[in-house]
Structure 1
Amino acid sequence: MASSPPLPEPTAPADRTARRTLPSTADVVIVGGGVMGASIAFHLAEAGVRDIVVVERGELGGGSSGKPIGGVRAQFSDPLNIELGNRSLRAFRDFPRRPCADIGLDTVGYLFLLTGARQAADFEESVRTQNRLGVPSRMIGPREARVLCPYLSAEGLVAAAHSPADGHARPALVVRGYARAAARAGTVFATHTAVTGMDTVGERVTVVHTDRGPVSCEAVICAAGAWSARIGSLVGVDLPVRPLRRQLAFTVPLVPAAPRIPFTIDFASSAYFHNSDDGLLLGLADPGETEGFDTTWTPEWLDLFRAVVRQRAPALADMETCRGWAGLYEVTPDHNALIGRAASPVNFLYATGFSGHGFLQAPAVGEIVRDLFLERRPCVDVTPLGADRFRTGAESRPEAHVV
């Protein structure tokens, strides 16, 4: 969930494409206009693919991308997630040059707080893997953690894991940056356009039907986030993605101003907080949350957060809040993404189910899907993330560092 509001329809040149008559043909139709769809469109357009239509049922970035926490990191347990995060971090740092947009990147680091010996041992193993893959993370003690984040109480802390290369950015600005660059290259963003069906002939999708008319196409890419299971079902592709509500809140402007702190996470409870404008962003995953598309924000959710931080960061427990949001995580059974090309239809590709990591992995995944579409070898082998892993029993190891 994020420190900027849902993205409006993009301004020129992308707004002109949003209001055009929907093209009747396309080389590729991308379903979903969030950060993943926008990144894929940008990378395809940059590679010379010209007839791209992005179909979005609402506004660009109006789904899960409009309400993420904005974290960008490479601190994961799984080597593939580490590579995707690290490659994306480099792209976020380069965003002012390519695709030429300010995204509010703040490299304050990530700080995982650990309260048990088993947690510390698991993170030590992860840090060794991260270091081997070029991530400058390290284990630190409670005293140093408190220096990095003065809000903390060291009581009960065993250790912490910190990487100074991580941080947070503004998701709406990332979506806008990718969309504007793609639109300049000719991509059509069809907002407020719902997919209603697809036609197949043999092993290929041939037409995407929408409530604004049909689009004949050479390929379809599903980047529909929490709604991907429905899109896959239209062509018989099982995308096991389920929606799960997550909530956050913002404090009022703080006086004196909050110190510049890392993105700080109490790993056992999932409570997290970081700087946001003149205050702090506060979040926590409700363990009692049930599946569904409900995005109602419930202020009483804050009681869960306050109960946790009274011990871990006592000053935060009584801070006044001024607003909150609820958004959807797109969760898979092993909390790893679904990225690949379907066995049938062979021209149906997908990038979804990121379980809270879609924003931070979007730059790398945009490159990978571009290469899969162009039938080139991707920069990272994502074979283990194929959706058929659940059918064949080849599930990947569940990602341990889920927030």
Structure 2
Amino acid sequence: MSRARTLPVSADAVVIGGGIMGVSTAYHLATAGRSVVLLEKGALGQGSTCYAAGGVRGFFSDEVNIQLGLRSLEVFERFGDLFDTEIDLHQTGYLFLVDNEHDLAVFERNVALHTAAGGDSRMVSAADAKRLSPLIDSTGVLGAAWSPRDGHCTPEAVVQGYAKAARAAGAILLTNCPATGIETGGGRIVGVSTEAGSIRTDQVVCTAGAWSAQVGSWVGVDLPVVPLRRQIAITEPIPGLDPKTPFTIDFSTSLYFHPEGEGLLLGCPEDIDSWSFDTTRDPAWLTTLAEASERRVPSLREVGIISGWAGLYEMTPDHNAVIGRSRTVPGFVYACGFSGHGFLMGPAIGEVLRDLCLDREPVVDVSSLDAVRFSEAGARPELNVV
């Protein structure tokens, strides 16, 4: 059956973007009794979600992010029961390695903020960090922030779990059906255009990730989101690898790793940032990765790389998301620009966007993350970005 024949005539809300934010939002709106259509230009999760490292955590430097992370973590912990989908959750913890006094003081404050919000974290010594993450060389490490409840899971499984539940609740999820514009009349949204036709609606939810700036431009809303390529490598099996090895981050270099099967998943920034939608893997990055690994995980020098991929971060000027409801275009709601920590916040963001669409108080107060903060000198930097 062609898309034209399956395209609904109207909906209470149209969600643009089929990553974790989109499918979570579609699920929560549908269970709230709203008719929902989700438009995804490719396959569900194809934009950024399924290229994520899969980390889930509540440990951040911003109180709002902590609340969003902790609320989402509760869902990840119960995902199998809630959505009849196993997501391979490993709560082996997050370990941030710190090698200078300034960052040590920052992380001590972050731990205090996290624990005050109900999280479980503490500062540990370099020796303790080595015990928790045996592969590291702890030379120069002054301490580490340890959050044992955090961990990692499989992004694709989470997307499919939400998608299945959203469809069961009545949401219509259309893949390979890109939105091409938002139709307005009298200063209000009246529909969404696609290659297959139009859908009448007075509410649009933008969860388009790195492509959100374009969606916002269709209604004159400035969403300061730009794409940044990030690459990931998977190693060959490592004999004796402790499966309880935490998601380990060398904070000064942003090198990170966690177990993936019998090997490791590894990532770090590129030497020169690629600010574009290009997701071609750059072989030169492997040299950058090797240098960062040599410094902090020298035991990997003899371990081969067997696969990898490149995906996109959706960056904002302060590395914090933009979440809110347009003050100039009634019915336009958005959540994007998570700057590398979007996957882990997807469950809570779906609830927040549902509440914003229903014009009720969100489950987490995200008013400080409204996009207008950049024009009102209200930026609030998030420091724990990897």
With 130-139 and 251-260 compared, the bigger mean Cα shift is at 251-260
Match of 1:76, SS state, is coil
Let me know the Cα RMSD of the aligned residues: 1.5
Contact 1:17 1:187 in 2 (8 A): no
**1:385 corresponds to which of 369, 374, 381:** 369
Which amino acid letter does the alignment assign opposite residue 221 of structure 2?
A: V
C-alpha contact 1:42 1:182 (8 A) present in aligned 2: yes
> Is this contact kept in 2: 1:70–1:359, CA < 8 A?
yes
Match of 2:88 in 1: 104
Alpha-carbon distance between aligned partners in 2 of 1:374 and 1:318, rounded to the nearest angstrom: 55
Could you say which residue in structure 1 is the equivalent of 2:278? 294
- Deviation at residue 199 of structure 1 after TM alignment: 1.3
Which has the higher mean CA deviation after the structures are superposed, 347-356 or 196-205? Answer: 196-205
Conserved? CA contact 2:4–2:197, under 8 Å: no
Task: Quote the residue 1:177 is aligned against.
Answer: 161
Amino acid paired to 1:83: Q
Match of 2:141 in 1: 157
User: Aligned ranges for residues 22-101 of structure 1 at < 5 Å?
Assistant: 22-49=7-34, 51-101=35-85
| Alignment equivalent of 1:370, drawn from 324, 349, 354 | 354
Which of 186, 200, 204 is the matching residue for 1:216?
A: 200
Q: Residues 213 and 315 (structure 1 numbering): CA distance in 2 closer, same or farther, change over 3 Å?
A: same
CA distance, structure 1, for counterparts of residue 4 and residue 78 of structure 2: 31
Q: What is the match of residue 385 of structure 2?
A: 402
1:84 Cα shift? 0.7
Contact kept, 8 Å, 2:57 with 2:73, in 1: the verdict is yes
* Aligned pairs for 1:269-280 within 5 A: 269-280=253-264
Q: CA deviation at 1:99?
A: 2.4
5+ residue gaps, structure 1, are: 1-15
- Deviation of 1:97 after TM superposition, in Å, equals 1.8
- Is the alpha carbon distance of 1:80 and 1:253 closer, same or farther for their aligned partners in structure 2, counting shifts above 3 Å? same
- In structure 2, what is the equivalent of residue 12 of structure 1? none
Contact 1:204 1:344 in 2 (8 A): no
**Distance across 1 between alignment mates of 2:4 and 2:45:** 17
CA offsets 1:13-65 (integer angstroms, 9 cap, x no match): xxx9989611121111000001100110111112222x210000001010101
Q: CA deviation at 1:290?
A: 2.7
- 1:114: Cα distance to partner? 0.4
Structure 1 counterpart of 2:280, one-letter code: T
Deviations 1:353-375 (A, max 9, x none): 11011100111111111111111
Aligned pairs (5 A) from 1:138-153: 138-153=122-137
Distance in 1, Cα, partners of 2:77 & 2:297: 30
Q: Tell me the secondary structure at the aligned position of residue 83 of structure 2.
A: coil
- Within the candidate set 225, 235, 239, 1:255 is matched to 239
Specify the alignment match of 1:9 in structure 2: none
Cα pair 2:15 2:26 within 8 Å, conserved: yes
* CA deviation profile, 1:300-359 (whole Å, cap 9, x unmatched): 311111111212111123310111100000000111111110012110000111101110
1:167 lines up with 2:162 in the alignment: no
- CA deviation vs aligned residue, 1:124-152 (integer Å, no higher than 9, x gap): 01101111011110000011101111101
1:228 aligns with 2:229: no
What residue number does 2:341 align with?
357
* Change beyond 3 A, Cα 1:102–1:211: same
Superposed displacement of residue 287, structure 1 = 4.3
Give the percent of matched residue pairs that are identical in Structure 1 and Structure 2.
48
Instruction: Please say which of residues 284-293 and 341-350 is displaced more in the overlay.
Output: 284-293
**C-alpha distance after superposition, 1:276-296 (max 9, x if no partner):** 012110100124113100000
Count of matched residue positions in the alignment of Structure 1 and Structure 2: 386
Distance 1:224 1:392 in 2: 24
Question: Please, which of 161, 176, 190 is the counterpart of residue 192 of structure 1?
Answer: 176
Normalising by structure 2, what TM-score? Answer: 0.97
1:259 Cα deviation from its structure 2 partner: 4.0
| Contact 1:18 1:188 survives alignment (8 Å) | no
Distance 1:320 1:20, change over 3 A: farther
Cα shift at 1:257: 4.3
Kept after mapping to 1: 8 A contact 2:213/2:225: yes
